[in-house]
Amino acid sequence: MHVFFATLALAAFHPGDAASIDVSVATLWKAPNVYRAIDRPAVTNPADPAAWSRNLATTADRVWLDSHVQTQALYGQQVTILATRGGWAEVAVKDEPDPKNAHGYPGWLPLRQLKPAIDDSGSYLVVRARTATLRVAGRTLRLSYGTRLPRIAGNRVRTPDGDGTIEGAALPLAPSNESIIEQGERFLGTHYLWGGLSSWGFDCSGLIWDLYRVHGLTIPRDADPQMHHGTPIARNALRRGDLLFFGTNGYADHVSIYLGNDRQLEAPDSADRVRISPVRWTYYLGARRYLTN
């Protein structure tokens, strides 16, 4: 199957075109062809995020990504083509808002991980299980938590590969702070991954983005833009579910979910995994409340 999809003719995309992500998880890089041999499962079609995670065997393997990866995008997410170069495309991810680009979060990925854009309007199903199974066009894809696909009827969905059926997806959850926390706790022990926003690895803001996505909400992709949305909350008025921001010189480079009693849920850094920990107030910048209930 890997050989078949690797030899498919690449669609002819041009700047300004819309496209859809055609792999379970696409990694967006800072430039074309900067990946290592151990990153190969992240740039194929189909991609293999589980194998990639296994390849990232040391903290150093993961820290290297800090200066080479921008973000990720999930199967079916819409992107705008910004440029193409030698089998790669620079794209902006539509529903990952970021001040870097009005079209969405930018980065480079192989053209083989894209298909022409699908109609993503109307109701949709979102993967609420840790992973879900999609059957489409004679193949089976394992999709991540947070993947969102337009609904046809029942468990039938529109995909970049045609109409398919999905197991493990449902309508979005009703948003509430307690539900956000409950969903986040399901990922305790998941590896930190710089740029990650899938159940195979999260960074701090990617975890927050994905939790809100499962509740039908789109929020900024990165910690600093997240800090500039929502309602500012004083430290003495914090409630469970508020977002805490940390950094220096007024710039937020880390975000967590407040759990009460000076505890937080966070994806801390490349040496660790999603965890519950004491709040480290030294670099605290402030808090935002996105949900009132």
Radius of gyration, CA atoms only, the chain: 18
Question: Is 204 a residue of the active site?
Answer: yes
Question: Is 229 a residue of the active site?
Answer: no
Check 103, 191, 215, 254 and give the catalytic one: 254
Check 90, 96, 191, 266 and give the catalytic one: 266
Question: Is 90 a residue of the active site?
Answer: no
Check 96, 103, 204, 215 and give the catalytic one: 204
Catalytic residues: 204, 254, 266
